[in-house]
Homo-oligomer: A and B are copies of this chain.
Protein backbone atom coordinates (compact mmCIF):
# COMPACT_ATOMS: atom_id res chain seq x y z
CA UNK A 1 0.00 0.00 0.00
CA UNK A 2 1.86 2.97 -1.18
CA UNK A 3 -0.11 5.11 -3.42
CA UNK A 4 0.22 8.66 -4.59
CA UNK A 5 -2.63 10.02 -2.51
CA UNK A 6 -1.20 8.42 0.59
CA UNK A 7 2.18 9.97 -0.06
CA UNK A 8 0.68 13.37 -0.52
CA UNK A 9 -1.32 12.97 2.65
CA UNK A 10 1.81 12.00 4.57
CA UNK A 11 3.76 14.84 3.09
CA UNK A 12 1.16 17.39 4.08
CA UNK A 13 0.98 15.98 7.56
CA UNK A 14 4.72 16.17 7.90
CA UNK A 15 4.58 19.77 6.77
CA UNK A 16 2.07 20.51 9.44
CA UNK A 17 4.12 18.76 12.06
CA UNK A 18 2.82 17.31 15.24
CA UNK A 19 1.93 20.45 17.05
CA UNK A 20 1.32 23.12 14.49
CA UNK A 21 -2.24 24.11 13.99
CA UNK A 22 -1.85 25.34 10.47
CA UNK A 23 -0.03 24.90 7.22
CA UNK A 24 -0.13 26.75 3.95
CA UNK A 25 0.23 25.05 0.62
CA UNK A 26 0.61 26.07 -2.99
CA UNK A 27 -1.49 23.73 -5.00
CA UNK A 28 0.49 23.88 -8.20
CA UNK A 29 3.81 23.64 -6.45
CA UNK A 30 2.69 20.53 -4.62
CA UNK A 31 1.31 18.98 -7.78
CA UNK A 32 4.59 19.73 -9.45
CA UNK A 33 6.55 18.17 -6.64
CA UNK A 34 4.53 14.98 -6.98
CA UNK A 35 4.28 15.22 -10.76
CA UNK A 36 0.54 14.94 -10.77
CA UNK A 37 -2.50 16.86 -11.83
CA UNK A 38 -3.28 19.81 -9.56
CA UNK A 39 -6.74 18.47 -9.01
CA UNK A 40 -5.12 15.47 -7.38
CA UNK A 41 -4.33 17.76 -4.50
CA UNK A 42 -7.99 18.65 -4.18
CA UNK A 43 -8.80 14.99 -4.12
CA UNK A 44 -6.43 14.38 -1.25
CA UNK A 45 -7.78 17.34 0.65
CA UNK A 46 -11.34 16.24 0.11
CA UNK A 47 -10.75 12.67 1.16
CA UNK A 48 -8.16 13.09 3.91
CA UNK A 49 -8.53 16.56 5.30
CA UNK A 50 -12.25 17.03 5.55
CA UNK A 51 -13.88 18.78 8.48
CA UNK A 52 -15.06 15.36 9.64
CA UNK A 53 -11.45 14.36 9.91
CA UNK A 54 -10.61 17.44 11.88
CA UNK A 55 -9.42 19.96 9.34
CA UNK A 56 -10.71 23.18 7.95
CA UNK A 57 -9.65 24.37 4.55
CA UNK A 58 -9.37 27.97 3.58
CA UNK A 59 -8.10 29.08 0.25
CA UNK A 60 -7.70 31.96 -2.04
CA UNK A 61 -7.37 32.07 -5.78
CA UNK A 62 -5.49 34.37 -8.03
CA UNK A 63 -1.98 35.71 -7.74
CA UNK A 64 -0.56 34.93 -4.34
CA UNK A 65 -3.22 32.36 -3.83
CA UNK A 66 -2.87 29.62 -1.27
CA UNK A 67 -4.53 26.73 0.46
CA UNK A 68 -4.49 26.84 4.21
CA UNK A 69 -5.21 23.82 6.35
CA UNK A 70 -6.21 24.38 9.91
CA UNK A 71 -6.35 21.58 12.38
CA UNK A 72 -9.26 21.92 14.71
CA UNK A 73 -9.16 20.36 18.08
CA UNK A 74 -12.67 19.63 18.87
CA UNK A 75 -14.07 19.13 22.25
CA UNK A 76 -14.98 15.52 22.39
CA UNK A 77 -18.35 16.11 23.80
CA UNK A 78 -19.36 18.70 21.31
CA UNK A 79 -18.07 16.73 18.41
CA UNK A 80 -19.90 13.59 19.36
CA UNK A 81 -23.12 15.37 20.04
CA UNK A 82 -22.80 17.05 16.69
CA UNK A 83 -22.34 13.68 15.07
CA UNK A 84 -25.40 12.33 16.76
CA UNK A 85 -27.58 15.19 15.70
CA UNK A 86 -26.05 15.43 12.26
CA UNK A 87 -25.53 11.97 10.93
CA UNK A 88 -28.31 10.34 12.87
CA UNK A 89 -30.85 13.03 12.44
CA UNK A 90 -33.20 11.03 10.33
CA UNK A 91 -32.89 7.91 12.41
CA UNK A 92 -31.03 5.83 9.90
CA UNK A 93 -27.56 5.50 8.53
CA UNK A 94 -25.86 3.31 5.97
CA UNK A 95 -23.12 0.89 6.86
CA UNK A 96 -20.70 2.94 4.88
CA UNK A 97 -21.51 6.21 6.56
CA UNK A 98 -21.49 4.62 9.97
CA UNK A 99 -18.06 3.21 9.39
CA UNK A 100 -16.87 6.56 8.19
CA UNK A 101 -18.04 8.05 11.45
CA UNK A 102 -15.98 5.49 13.31
CA UNK A 103 -12.84 6.04 11.32
CA UNK A 104 -13.23 9.79 11.55
CA UNK A 105 -13.46 9.59 15.31
CA UNK A 106 -10.26 7.60 15.25
CA UNK A 107 -8.43 10.02 13.04
CA UNK A 108 -9.47 12.90 15.23
CA UNK A 109 -8.04 11.06 18.17
CA UNK A 110 -11.35 10.94 19.97
CA UNK A 111 -11.31 7.17 20.26
CA UNK A 112 -8.57 4.60 20.10
CA UNK A 113 -8.23 1.94 17.49
CA UNK A 114 -9.75 -0.74 19.62
CA UNK A 115 -12.90 1.27 20.07
CA UNK A 116 -12.90 2.02 16.39
CA UNK A 117 -12.75 -1.66 15.59
CA UNK A 118 -15.70 -2.35 17.83
CA UNK A 119 -17.75 0.45 16.38
CA UNK A 120 -16.99 -0.67 12.88
CA UNK A 121 -17.98 -4.20 13.71
CA UNK A 122 -21.25 -3.47 15.43
CA UNK A 123 -22.55 -1.32 12.63
CA UNK A 124 -21.64 -3.78 9.92
CA UNK A 125 -24.29 -5.55 7.94
CA UNK A 126 -22.80 -8.74 9.22
CA UNK A 127 -23.65 -7.81 12.79
CA UNK A 128 -27.13 -6.73 11.88
CA UNK A 129 -28.51 -9.74 10.18
CA UNK A 130 -32.06 -9.00 9.57
CA UNK A 131 -33.92 -10.56 6.68
CA UNK A 132 -34.06 -7.30 4.83
CA UNK A 133 -35.13 -3.75 4.99
CA UNK A 134 -34.70 -1.68 8.04
CA UNK A 135 -31.08 -2.29 8.77
CA UNK A 136 -30.18 1.33 8.49
CA UNK A 137 -32.66 2.30 11.13
CA UNK A 138 -31.44 -0.28 13.54
CA UNK A 139 -27.87 0.66 12.81
CA UNK A 140 -28.60 4.25 13.67
CA UNK A 141 -29.92 3.17 17.04
CA UNK A 142 -26.86 1.11 17.75
CA UNK A 143 -24.46 3.78 16.69
CA UNK A 144 -26.27 6.36 18.68
CA UNK A 145 -26.06 4.38 21.88
CA UNK A 146 -22.41 3.69 21.24
CA UNK A 147 -21.63 7.34 20.72
CA UNK A 148 -23.52 8.38 23.77
CA UNK A 149 -21.62 5.80 25.75
CA UNK A 150 -18.42 7.43 24.60
CA UNK A 151 -19.50 10.68 26.12
CA UNK A 152 -19.21 9.25 29.56
CA UNK A 153 -15.56 8.35 29.29
CA UNK A 154 -12.97 10.92 30.07
Binary CB contact string for chain A from 115 to 153 against chain B (1 if under 8 A, 0 otherwise):
101111110101111100000001001101110111011
Could you tell me if B1 and A66 are in contact, using CB atoms closer than 8 angstroms?
yes
A114 nearest CB neighbor, chain B only: B153
Could you tell me if B152 and A117 are in contact, using CB atoms closer than 8 angstroms?
yes
Contact of A113 among B113, B146, B153 (CB under 8 A): B153
Sample (30) of A-B pairs whose CB atoms are under 8 Å apart: A1-B60, A1-B66, A2-B64, A3-B64, A6-B64, A111-B114, A112-B114, A113-B153, A114-B114, A114-B150, A114-B153, A115-B115, A117-B152, A117-B153, A118-B118, A118-B119, A118-B122, A118-B149, A118-B150, A120-B149, A122-B142, A122-B146, A126-B141, A127-B144, A127-B145, A127-B146, A128-B141, A128-B142, A130-B138, A138-B138
